[in-house]
Structure 1
Amino acid sequence: LCPAGLLPLCSRVWGSGARERAGLPPAQRRAFSNNKMLVELDEGSGVATVKFKSPPVNSLSLDFLTELSIGLEKLENNRGCRAVIFTSAVPKIFSAGLDVTEMCGKSTEHYAEFWRVVQNIWLRLYGSNMVTVAAINATGKTGLTWALCLWQGSSPAGGCLLALSCDYRIMADNPKFVIGLNESQLGIVAPFWFKDTFVNVVGHRIAERSLQLGSLHSAPEALQLGIVDELVPEEKLQDKAAAVVAQWLALPDHARQITKSMMRKSVLDRLLTHQEEDVQNFVGFISKESIQKSLRMYMEMLKKRKG
């Protein structure tokens, strides 16, 4: 069945030739799509792949995050899905991070709605029982079944947060690709749960320095700092992600899930306890004229760069 909230792209058994080329044993593979992402679930292995496809840069807009939240919820509720690999179908970009247009020139009600969706996607992903892997095939900025994150390009801010929330991060080995939480460059302060997630991955000192400077790290530097777990040639990214997922899925689910919950519970509980306070802090901060001015200047700079 197609998960609710996702439009069926196709629902069919793949031919053995296609599966052999993908390095998978004969089994049923289903695909579901909306206008922001493609979700493919291999029912034989229990591994889903979520491909972001919201050009030009997979910005984390209100619509994008809502669709992602719906998709993750349905995968979580599917007992046959044990792992998720996140990657991008847009060349050279994993995600450009939080959509600045959602935070500039809008009403306070809109800012609150947007931030609640950002909170909820982090709570769902960071607390997922699934194995989560990020396959970073491009730049990634910040922005359960096991999830593996593959980067094929850059990942700033919110995009970086999605990756940091995964269990494992694999990035394409390209020195031009960058990743990091660059909020301070825009005059924005990363919220405490962004910070907590980052600290849990790289340690306090590296996180403190990187957050203060709003640093975007090259792929080799990201590996050295521990932001990503592996670098692989871009053409081998998907195969490596599949191999890592298989390694994690070889473990008993209950032991892995309980351990993951134990390690992450305090960070999750902190936001759950202060969720509405965090929303109001964000709305009050982002509504300041000085912050709005900084965001307008940033958007104008992007327009000139495109021109």
Structure 2
Amino acid sequence: MNAQTYESFDVRTDRRGVTTITLDVPGRPMNVFDGSVMKELNDIVRRLQTDLDCKAVVFRSGKESGFLAGADVNAIAAISSPVEAAKLIDEGQRLFNTIDWLTIPTIAVIHGPCLGGGLEWALACDYRIARDNSSTKIGLPEIKLGLIPGWGGTQRLPKLVGLKNALTMILKGTHLSAGEAYKIGLVDQAISPDDWDDAVDEFVEKILISPHSVRSGSKRPVIQRIIEATQVGRSMIIAATKRRIDSKSKQYPALGAALRSVRSSYGIRPKGFMTERNEFIDLLATPTCRHLLQLFFDRESARSLRTWTDQTSIIHEEPIRKVGIIGAGAMGAGIAQLVGYRGYDVVIKEINEAAAEAGRTRVNDLVNQLARHKKMNESTREQLLGRIRIVTEDEPLSDADLVIEAIVEKLDVKRSVFRALDRITTPETIFASNTSSLSVTDMATATQRGNLVAGLHFFNPVHKMELVEVVRAKETNDVTIARLVGFVRGLGKTPIVTADTPGFLVNRVLFPYLGEAVLMVAEGHSVANIDKEVRRFGMPMGPLELLDQVGLDVALHVSRSLESVLSGLCPVVDQLAIMVEDGLIGKKASAGFYWYLNGKKKGVSKISQSMRGAPDAGIGDQYEARFVNEGLTPVQRRLIYPMLAESIRAKQEGVVQENWAIDLAMVLGTGFAPHRGGPLHTVDSFSEHVVHANLNQLQEVFGDRFVPPRLLVDMAKQNLTFFPKSNPQSNDRAVSRG
């Protein structure tokens, strides 16, 4: 085996007869399966079939970044026909079946990510061991791309970890740590990093001496194993799962496909693999899959410095190491926890010792929650807390590379803070505001460093929300943008660079939708029905529940700041002001559009007395026949179209230059139905002509807040779309429908 050389593999056999096959794909930061890797691995495995001197095989990665991230998504997206898809699946299934059927013991040695096709490779082996640290992530995330595992994952995983565990992993696309994988029997040993090399060698030695002595065995509860061992028990689990996913299966067909494939794993083996193959091929052509693939590539583009700045700026980009934060409130503490967790030194400045002590309590609570979630040991937790200082004096901020203000949303207060920072920090320190709507350019005029001032708009809760808007003020230079984009990427977030306009991108597009929901309640529409209709469209929660989560007082402040750019907000501001005046400010006050008990939503609140002066109650129903049918209900149309129109205006006015960035920001920042691809993709799917016609009708019925954007009118006339059809990797110029 040692004589043959490969581009991506190193193959060595030691004196014991153990062949170690190390994957290190050249030119890639992470190992992935592409055509050449598959071909080489197939050749290696074929040789193993006839190698009589080989006593055991170890598959491992030569990259410290991890084992294997899965199949090359670019290759999957490039598939243009069912024949190509079938070829890809058949090759993978044959290869892993060959590994599965080898008569010599096979061991997958896992560290870092082992995902998708990487885990399917490991499942084909006889044994799996994993390094037990935070970088190890084991899972089958294909569902997040609108697909299912296609190389045997739906067939082998249930046999190894049980039906219930397998369904959870596949349907949710969850990642397991080494310890979690060991608990369900997915890996045979979870090894401490301190013992890694020696323990791997010891494991291999045990295999050579007595292969069956190292099996981890099933870790499932006895009752679960008994239920899953019978056809009746499995049928009950399958039926319960089907009921749970039925409401989403139309939007996300991969859910049903995964369930059918897993169910087939308990039948005749060839039939099960054929079911998996056919389901994968069918899914690849669905709009949901194409949109989710597009979003995958959009994320990659958003995280690239080259997307937002020129090459010169990237060359001169200096990494940020120390971060100052002004204010230890909910947002300041949340940002501090994230920044500290990612390894940066953090100093939070508060106005007095009482506020500082409250901030310390808040940060401690957030760090403790994170420690429990990440299963940190006490030493790691203390190290994290040690990176976050909360002070009342200015001096600790003097050498910060970046200072983020996260204080009250008042322009004069923020300007005062920036003016003071200008005197106490180095001339190279970047200032960033976490404002959600105020002018960063106005804040920058309080300093002598306008080129180093920008916005960093984090979304709440900071640790959960992936999007960060990087706001380019009037004088912000490219080097500053490059440094901030790199910083956001280093936090594990996705940056979108926006212009400095009221509400930036997400709030500007979101508020016409939220405002329309408020007006509909004022007209007498059911709160519960409004939210239900929007969830049916594909949003994670309805607009009224979202307002409760954000806080109606916060929404009122943002809506007032948007009046200069959004039409028809005055009645919305008035209605929100009434609710805020009556103390109905949302979840944090236990009452808004809904009422809450211990943070749990319990029902619709009694808001009829708060929503006074209801305008135009019941208007519009008689006009329904005049709308072009694009598949929306009247309630959905009235709520979704404001977002579509404002997304087009954002493009028209250059708030964000790229079409895909608008869609990605709305998906990440608001949960806009991912299976639809985002607002601009939704416009394309309905057609610009239909959206234009329906906006005209909505304008006639409800007023000028529904006036069609000029860009939409022009595109409808010229028969243009925002995106080329069915090509996730293409650019996003407006193109002809042909």
Q: State the TM-score, normalizing by the size of structure 1.
A: 0.73
Find out whether 1:39 has 2:11 as its counterpart.
yes
Residue aligned with 1:48, SS: strand
Task: Tell me if structure 1 keeps the 8 A contact 2:134–2:177.
Answer: yes
Look up the match of 1:106. 79
2:285 equivalent in structure 1:
287
- Please state if 1:49 is matched with 2:10: no
Write the distance in 2 (CA, Å) between the matches of 1:192 and 1:161.
6
Q: 1:57 to 1:212 in 2, by over 3 A?
A: same
Residues 229, 305 of structure 1: alpha-carbon distance in 2 compared, 3 angstrom cutoff:
farther
What are the equivalent positions in structure 2 for 1:11-160 lying under 5 Å apart?
30=2, 32-42=4-14, 44-54=15-25, 55-108=28-81, 109-136=83-110, 152-160=111-119
Task: Give distance in 2, aligned partners of 1:133 and 1:153.
Answer: 16
Larger radius of gyration: 2
Cα distance in 2 between the residues matched to 1:89 and 1:187: 30
d(CA) in 1 for partners of 2:161, 2:47: 31
Give the aligned partner of residue 304 of structure 1: 302
User: What displacement does 1:252 show?
Assistant: 8.9
Q: What is the number of residues matched between the two proteins?
A: 251
1:250–1:237 distance in 2 versus 1, CA, 3 Å: same
Q: CA offsets, 1:278-304, max 9 Å, x none?
A: 544433321334312221221221232
**Do 2:120 and 2:152's aligned partners in 1 also have CA atoms closer than 8 Å?**
no
- Please give the root-mean-square deviation of Cα atoms over the aligned residues, in Å: 2.7
* 8 A Cα contact 2:132 2:177, kept in partner: no
Instruction: Select which of 155, 158, 170 maps to 1:211.
Output: 170
Given the superposition, is the C-alpha separation of residues 252 and 50 from structure 1 closer, same or farther in structure 2, using an over 3 Å criterion? closer
Structure 2: 5+ residue stretches without partners? 213-263, 306-738
Kindly report which structure 2 residues correspond to 1:254-273, keeping only aligned pairs within 5 A, or say none. 270-272=268-270
Q: CA deviation at 1:120?
A: 1.2
DSSP 3-state at the match of 2:158: helix
TM-score normalised by length of structure 2:
0.32
Aligned to 2:124: 165
Q: 1:197 aligns with which of 156, 171, 193?
A: 156
- Whole-Å Cα distance in 2 between the matches of residues 35 and 232 of structure 1? 30
Q: Distance in 1 between matches of 2:169 and 2:22?
A: 28
Alpha-carbon offset, residue 276 of structure 1 = 6.1
Question: What is the CA deviation profile of residues 28-49 of structure 1, one whole-angstrom value per residue up to 9, with x for unaligned ones?
Answer: xx4643111111112x311100
Distance in 2 between the 1:235 and 1:117 partners? 38
Greater relative contact order: 1 or 2 (C-alpha under 8 angstroms, separation 6 or more)?
A: 1
Gap change, CA 1:235 and 1:32, over 3 Å in 2 = farther
**Any idea what SS the aligned residue of 2:67 has?**
strand
Q: Matched residues in 2 for 1:223 and 1:280: separation? A: 31
| 1:95 partner SS | coil
- The structure richer in helix per residue is 2
SS in structure 2 at match of 1:201 = helix
Structure 1 residue identity aligned to 2:46: E
- Alignment CA distance shift 1:70-1:271 (3 Å): farther
Q: Secondary structure at the match of 1:39?
A: strand
Task: Give yes or no for contact 2:155–2:273 (8 Å, CA) kept in 1.
Answer: no
* Cα distance between partner residues in 2 of 1:222 and 1:155: 11
Q: Provide closer, same or farther for how the CA distance between residues 227 and 251 of structure 1 changes in structure 2, counting only shifts above 3 A.
A: closer
Is 1:223 the counterpart of 2:195 in the alignment? Answer: no
**Amino acid aligned to 2:281:** V
Q: Is the 8 A contact 1:131 1:167 kept in 2?
A: yes
Aligned-partner SS, 1:94: coil
How many Å apart are 1:234 and its aligned residue? Answer: 3.5
- % identical aligned pairs: 25
Alpha carbons of structure 1 residues 214 and 204: separation in structure 2 relative to 1, 3 Å: same
Query: What is the one-letter code of the residue matched to 2:131?
Result: A
State whether residues 152 and 273 of structure 2, in contact with CA within 8 Å, keep that contact through their aligned partners in structure 1.
no
- Whole-Å Cα distance in 1 between the matches of residues 189 and 276 of structure 2? 33
